[in-house]
Amino acid sequence: MIQRATLIRVTGAYRTSSAVSLTTISGHPPITLEAEKKILEYKVRKGISFEIGDYTFETEGIESASQLNAVKPLKKAKQRRK
């Protein structure tokens, strides 16, 4: 993991430290979560609807990522039968 190697150097931790502990110690979230956050911010800026779990979010009328709290679920997806 690229992020782990970088965090080992930044924090001065031992090589045997886990990636989870390094992200906790350094205060930096895992890079995958940062990437997902950036993708959602982009979709909000562009007015693209998106899904998280069972919920669909509509972003029309949202002009900036600072208004992300204004994004409300549009509808709950139907439960799949097993």
CA separation (Å) from 16 to 12, 19, 28, 33, 40? 12, 9, 19, 23, 33
* Res 33: pLDDT: 87
pLDDT tens digit string along 24-39?
888 888 888 888 888 8
* Res 8: pLDDT: 84
* Distance (Å, whole) CA 51 – CA 74: 10
pLDDT tens digit string along 45-73?
787 888 877 877 777 666 655 655 666 55
* Res 3: pLDDT: 81
The reply to whether the predicted model has a pTM over 0.85 is: no
For the chain, give every domain's residue range. 2-76
* Res 78: pLDDT: 57
